[in-house]
Structure 1
Amino acid sequence: MITDLEAATPALCRLQLGSELRQLRLAAGLKGSQVVKRLLWSPSKLTRLETGENTSVETADVMALCEIYGVDLERRAVLLSYAAVTKTKRDWWLTPEYRQVISPGLKAFLDLEATATAVQNYQAEFVPGLLQTEAYIRALNELALNRPTDEEADMIAAIRTRRQDVLSRPESPLKFTAIINEAVLRRPVGRRPVMREQLAHIVDVVESRPNVRVQVVPFSVGAHSGMDGSFVLIQFPEKLSLKPMVYLEGLVDAWVKRGEGDVERYADAVSDLQALAPGPRESLHMIKEAIKEH
């Protein structure tokens, strides 16, 4: 349960509300199809509510679900207060200045990242977003299949750099673990100065922030459990009813996996990769050597 609604973000309230509504439905022994049939809703409407995908939540919708689930007045008031926050506040990534470059998949990820206490990210091809410099971001945009306009490129760079504020939150900065393939260090993105600055930035962040850990998976280890692709494992505060989730991103789409079995497999992959890769000190040495090569 969220104890400080005045400080709570809309993203946190959307996710917590969705999780609690799903738990209430299951406790009532109802399938989603039964609920939407009674309310004359589309199945996707209930799914969006339960997964926290809506930008804002109508209090009337929450009231209708509470009636069906037989929710007591005290808990109903809490759920309605979550919905009210989504109506009266806006997360920074949903403001008009960024809206045109925020896809549904990216919005879902930003919701999760802003709410998380810990993120473990395996990246096979490029530096994780939370560690990217602006020059590196712009170099990646220039290589994109659907190359953004100059205006869109500015917004993308601004969003990605602002995301990094989670690493320096005054209260409970995000605990971030990045596991990267050695190819990320070797393959040039942009000109050599861009790569030198980028790799030096990783070193600076790791050495200055105890909540950030980086490990490099060297070519020499051979096949490993991250070879199916990059992923982000996201964990939430214990006080919330949110279980860990996994974010995946492809060439044309992005999605969140919530199934316990799927999440457990990715958690196992993180453990395997961390055991396989050299420790943070040795990994930083690899990064410093790569700087010299660029």
Structure 2
Amino acid sequence: MITDVEAATPALCRLQLGSELRQLRLASGLKGAQVVKKLRWSPSKLTRLETGENSSVEPDDVLALCDIYQADAEARERLHGYAVVTRIKRDWWLSREYRPVVNPGLRAFLDLEATATSLQTYESEFVPGLLQTEAYVRAIHQIHQRAREALSAQDLDRTATVRTTRAAVLSRPDTPLKFTAIINEAVLRRAVGQPPVMRDQLAHIVDVVESRPNVRVQVVPFRVGAHAGMEGSFFLFHFPERLALKPMVYLENLSDAWVKRGDSEVERYRDAFTDLQALAPGPQESLSMIKEAIKEH
């Protein structure tokens, strides 16, 4: 659990608060329906609290839950502290500047990414977000304009800034995110934008991997045939041991996003990632594939 609540990020406090509240409810033997009936809340309000979906949490709501769960004084103080942090501090992606382009699905993802100690991802179609250049981001959104609501020039600027600012987690002081990405060979071959965009993008991947020991990239070649990632991209988050947070999986498509927390669901994706790691060539051979793709663009 968090030892210095005041120094913690709001994202971490939201997730930790939700996890501990759910544990307290389960320990008390109460079902969600019983809790919301006592407090005259909507079921969705309790769900959002337990999954950390609210941007901020009312401290009085937390204390009301602590009363029902008969939490001890230490737990009450700690959970109240988490809620206070979410009220007085804001993560950068929730600022007024970026709020127009950070939808609930992306916000949930950024909460997880900012809190995690490691992120494992399989990407079938795009360069992983943490490795994308600004030009690549803009080229992607020019394509998406046909399938999604068109972004204004200002919102496109915001979107590009959000995407590139995220990469700061790779160079966090003391605890940089351990990032392991497995990508489909199609990501290297498919042209996104003009050839210079792809050359610069692939060169950026090489630069990051060669300069940051906490970043590892492997490529699944076409020649291996069918594999465990063919059902789509996924993100597997792991959190600090001191927190009461189990690994979580994030999935998204054109219109929606989900966070999977069930042990069996997470284990399925963990097994798939392990299979992909074993199937793909090692980091050095994968880097050679990326460098070869640069020449082809």
Q: TM-score, normalised by structure 1?
A: 0.99
Structure 1: distance between partners of 2:238 and 2:93: 21
1:32 maps to 32
- In 1, the alpha carbon distance for the partners of 2:155 and 2:200 equals 23
Q: Partner residue of 2:107?
A: 107
Is 1:188 the counterpart of 2:191? The answer is yes
Q: Which amino acid aligns with 1:246?
A: V
- Kindly indicate whether residue 254 of structure 2 is the aligned counterpart of residue 248 of structure 1: no
In structure 2, the residue matched to 1:289 is 292
Structure 2 counterpart SS, 1:256: strand
* CA apart distance, 1:17: 0.4
**1:6 Cα deviation after fit:** 2.7
Write the distance in 1 (CA, Å) between the matches of 2:14 and 2:241. 17
Give a deviation string over 1:152-175, Cα, whole Å, max 9, x none.
Answer: 110000000000000000121000
Root-mean-square deviation (CA, aligned residues, Å) is 0.6
Aligned residue pairs: how many?
294
- CA deviations 1:228-247 (Å, max 9, x no partner) are 00000000000000000000
* Corresponding letter in the other structure for 1:248: L
In structure 2, the residue matched to 1:230 is 233
Q: Please give the residue correspondences for 1:1-294 in structure 2 after superposition, counting only pairs within 5 Å.
A: 1-144=1-144, 145-146=147-148, 147-294=150-297
For residues 32 and 6 of structure 1, what CA distance do their matches in structure 2 show? 29
Report the Cα distance in structure 2 between the residues aligned to 1:89 and 1:290, rounded to whole angstroms.
44
Q: Deviations over 1:50-86 (max 9, x none)?
A: 0000011101100110010000111100110010100
By how many angstroms is 1:253 displaced?
0.8
CA contact (8 A) 2:184 2:219 kept: yes
% same residue: 73
SS of the residue corresponding to residue 176 of structure 1 reads: strand
Q: Secondary structure at the match of 1:6?
A: helix
Any runs of at least 4 consecutive aligned residues in structure 1 with deviations exceeding 4 A, and if so which? none
What SS does the aligned partner of 2:3 have?
Answer: coil
Distance 1:74 1:103 in 2: 35
Aligned residue type for 1:73:
A
Cα distance in 1 for residues equivalent to 2:74 and 2:12: 20
Deviation at 1:5, TM superposition (A): 1.9
- Within 2, Cα distance between the matches of 1:227 and 1:255? 18
**Aligned letter for 1:173?**
P
The separation in 1 between residues aligned to 2:117 and 2:201, in whole angstroms, is 25
SS at match of 1:252: coil
Letter paired with 1:110? L
**Greater mean alpha carbon deviation, residues 139-148 or residues 193-202:** 139-148
Deviations 1:23-56 (A, max 9, x none): 0000000100110011100000000000000011
AA aligned to 2:115 is T
